[in-house]
Every structure is written in structure tokens, then in C-alpha cells.
């Protein structure tokens, strides 16, 4: 069975000297897990492919690791996005059957982001990755709509990856603990999943999909909690939201969902139930932050038919990304 994973990360040495230098600093202070992640983020060659082979992963769709370029000044984000996309394009050229890519784009400069996305899709990239809010501004803000219009016109999805909430939210909701507890609670343990869910709801309520009805997003981590709230969100009636459809309709027709490190059967079953089938569920590992082997083992034992597992493993990604 062919397998394609969609939330798989890479980085460059320059990225770790810039917006992700905190990861490098943690690796130097703590070692162990952070060093492991750092080493694998920078490898888009033999080590990564060997670990893919060992876990039975045929292709990774790579994207620049969080925090991406979204928290940088525009003047710095534009060259950083271009340089990391060049780096990724070279890796794909070396291993075209093993790697594909989502382009990093400088959301703080929409005109430049559009040009970068058009250029990269022309080179074979499969869409864009956006790491959450841009310094507290969200994609429902019409400032960013040229990017969304471009993605719809190119018929490519946007992978909305988590990022920590804005600092005032971190201080209010996650402060008062040790720095490491606050950091992790506001991040991968809880906060950035909720942050991504809120961002996705804002995109819906902002009328993005009424304006760009063919636009498609992807979110990871079994839907960032959203499938548990589909019906609850529809407490907001159309008469109040002024949208064309209930909120849950957009979440079922304009959003796709990956596992990416949430390999839990009850969570999967809830998402399957709420989506009404597997057509929008796709396989991911969240490498190197999570184990590819763990993801592969989970894929092969999920409570679904062999035909549905095939669609999750590769068929849905092939259709959406034209692989």
C-alpha cells in the first residue's frame, strides 16, 4: 500500500539562525529530544529517506517547520521564504518520487506572497503552508485575501499549521507557570491546537469561503479539536452569521484533515463520524516531531475498510494535490 504523509517538516541552518533560533538554543541547553529534532529537520536526504523506508512511508510532502516566516518583519520574511523554498526545491529535484512540497510564503507582504506562490506552483509545489496568525492578524482579514484568491485560482490548498497564540493570550491563559510549562502548554500540548481551531473558525465566519468557494484548506492533528464542535458551532445560525451555509458545512467541504501525531482511535472515530466518511481524512506523521513508525502502525489498524484505508493512506492526497 502506497503511503503519503502531508505534515512533515524541514528547516535550514539559516532558519535556525533566524526565526527558529529558540529551537537551536533549546537543543544546546537541553539536548536529547531537541537535538534529535534539530538534526532531522535539517536532513532532506539519506537519513530521512532511510527512516521513511523503515516506517513504510513512500512520500513526504514537506513544509517549513514552525514558526515559519509569519512572525518576521516583511523585509526579512520575503527572502527567508524564497531561500527555504529554493532549498526545498533542490531536495525535491534530487528525490522527486520521495518528496513534494508546500511553499512558505511571506503573508505579511501579500503581493510578494502571491508572486512566490505562483512561482513555486509553477515549479511543481503542491500548495502553501501558513503557520498561523501574522503577528496577531488572521486570514479573515481582507489584507490577506489576495493570497487566498491566488490559491483558489491555482487550485492548490493551504496547509494551516499551528503557531502559539499572540503574546497577550499566552500571558493571560498560560502564564503563571514555569517558562517551560507555559511554553509547552501554549504550544504543542494544548494552546496552538486551540489557536488553529479559532483561526479556522475566523476564516469561516469572515466569509472567506463565500468569497472563494473553491478554496481548500488542510489542518492537522485530527482537526485541531474542531470535529468535536461541528454541531455546537451551528448554534450560531445563518441568520446571525450572514453566511450562505451553516459553519459545519464549510468545515466539511472546504477543509481537509490529517492525523499528524494524533494517532488515537477514539479521536479518529469521532472525526470519521462527523465528516460522514473518509474522503477528507489524510495520513500524516508530523515528522520529526513525532514518529513515522507510530503513525504507520496506527494507519494499518484504524477501524476502517481496506478501501477506506487506501484512500486515507494515499488516494485522497493524490486527488487533492494532483500527485
Q: Is 286 a catalytic residue?
A: yes
Asked if 2 and 58 touch (Cβ cutoff 8 Å), the reply is yes
Nearest Cα neighbor of 204 from 279, 296, 140 is 140
Q: Select which of 183, 286, 297, 308 is catalytic.
A: 286
Catalytic residues: 286
Amino acid at each position: 500500500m502506497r503511503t503519503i504523509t502531508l505534515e512533515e517538516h524541514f528547516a535550514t541552518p539559516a532558519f535556525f539562525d533566524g526565526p527558529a533560533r529558540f529551537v537551536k538554543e533549546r537543543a544546546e541547553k537541553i539536548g536529547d529530544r531537541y537535538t534529535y529534532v534539530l538534526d532531522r529537520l535539517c536532513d532532506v536526504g539519506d537519513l530521512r529517506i532511510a527512516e521513511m523506508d523503515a516506517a513504510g512511508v513512500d512520500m513526504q510532502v514537506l513544509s517549513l517547520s514552525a514558526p515559519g516566516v509569519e512572525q518576521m518583519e516583511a523585509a526579512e520574511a520575503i527572502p527567508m521564504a524564497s531561500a527555504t523554498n529554493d532549498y526545498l526545491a533542490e531536495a525535491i529535484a534530487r528525490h522527486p518520487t520521495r518528496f513534494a512540497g508546500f511553499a512558505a510564503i511571506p503573508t505579511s507582504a501579500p503581493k510578494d506572497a502571491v508572486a512566490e506562490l505562483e512561482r513555486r506552483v509553477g515549479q511543481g509545489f503542491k500548495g502553501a503552508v501558513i503557520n498561523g496568525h501574522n503577528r496577531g492578524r488572521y486570514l479573515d482579514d481582507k489584507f490577506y485575501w489576495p493570497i487566498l484568491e491566488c490559491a483558489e485560482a491555482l487550485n492548490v490548498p493551504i496547509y494551516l499549521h499551528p503557531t502559539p497564540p499572540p503574546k497577550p493570550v499566552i500571558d493571560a491563559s498560560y502564564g503563571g507557570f514555569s517558562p517551560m510549562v507555559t511554553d509547552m502548554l501554549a504550544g504543542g500540548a494544548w494552546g496552538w491546537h486551540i489557536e488553529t481551531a479559532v483561526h479556522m473558525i475566523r476564516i469561516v465566519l469572515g466569509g472567506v469561503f463565500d468569497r472563494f468557494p473553491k478554496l481548500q484548506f488542510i489542518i492537522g492533528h485530527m482537526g485541531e479539536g474542531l470535529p468535536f464542535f461541528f454541531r455546537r458551532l451551528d448554534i450560531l445560525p445563518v441568520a446571525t452569521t450572514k453566511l450562505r451555509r451553516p459553519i459545519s458545512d464549510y468545515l466539511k467541504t472546504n477543509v481537509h484533515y490529517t492525523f499528524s501525531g494524533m494517532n488515537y482511535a477514539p479521536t479518529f472515530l469521532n472525526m470519521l463520524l462527523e465528516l460522514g466518511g473518509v474522503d477528507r481524512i489524510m495520513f500524516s506523521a508530523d515528522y520529526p516531531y513525532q514518529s513515522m513508525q507510530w503513525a504507520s502502525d496506527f494507519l494499518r489498524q484504524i477501524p476502517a475498510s481496506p478501501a477506506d484505508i487506501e484512500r486515507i493512506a494515499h488516494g485522497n492526497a493524490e486527488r487533492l494535490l494532483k500527485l
